[in-house]
């Protein structure tokens, strides 16, 4: 069983949409509703990829990504930002925090699945664990 995808999203409707879409494409899914619980789950469950909502209550998705990237135990896990704010500066901030992809809300489901598959493929080709 491949490692799951971790969905960190506080909005229940978005979380369910993302999860059911991923499951329909054969991915296992685990969920978190806050940045801190997402970080904890990333450390314990070794997800193969993280979808990170950037607007979370308390700690932001950007800060959570920075923490994951500075932790040797999770730094290799690709993080894709999910945000309704899609200006160049938002995208640049996500990349600076360590995200390797950016998905805008409302979510283009077909495009999202293609982007996830591409990032996982690149990640495997790079030979990172």
Q: Which residues bind Mn ion (CB under 5 A)?
A: 10, 53, 55
User: Which residue lies nearer to Mn ion by CB, 51 or 116?
Assistant: 51
DSSP 66-105: HHHHTSTTTTTS-EEEEES--SHHHHHHHHHHT-SEEEES
User: Which residue lies nearer to Mn ion by CB, 11 or 123?
Assistant: 11
Tell me how far apart the alpha carbons of residues 67 and 69 are, in angstroms, rounded to a whole number: 5
Owner of token pair 């990349």: 95
CB of 55 to Mn ion, least distance (A): 4
Contact 39, 68 (CB under 8 A): yes
CB of 14 to Mn ion, least distance (A): 7
Residue sitting closest to Mn ion (CB):
55
User: Which residue lies nearer to Mn ion by CB, 12 or 92?
Assistant: 12
User: Which residue lies nearer to Mn ion by CB, 53 or 78?
Assistant: 53
- Which residue, among 58, 111, 57, 59, has the nearest Cα to 80 in the 3D structure? 111
CB of 56 to Mn ion, least distance (A): 5
CB of 7 to Mn ion, least distance (A): 12
Contact 28, 3 (CB under 8 A): yes
């Amino acid at each position: 069983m491949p490692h799951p995808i971790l969905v960190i999203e506080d909005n229940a409707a978005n979380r369910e949409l993302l999860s059911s879409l991923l499951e329909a494409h054969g991915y296992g899914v685990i969920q978190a509703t806050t940045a801190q619980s997402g970080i904890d789950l990333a450390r314990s469950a070794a997800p193969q990829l993280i979808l990170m909502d950037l607007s979370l209550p308390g700690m932001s998705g950007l800060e959570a990504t920075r923490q994951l990237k500075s932790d040797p135990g999770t730094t290799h896990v690709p993080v894709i930002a999910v945000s309704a704010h899609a200006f160049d500066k938002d995208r640049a901030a996500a990349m600076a925090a360590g995200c390797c992809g950016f998905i805008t809300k409302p979510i283009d489901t077909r495009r999202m699945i293609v982007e996830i598959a591409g990032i996982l493929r690149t990640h495997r080709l790079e030979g990172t664990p």
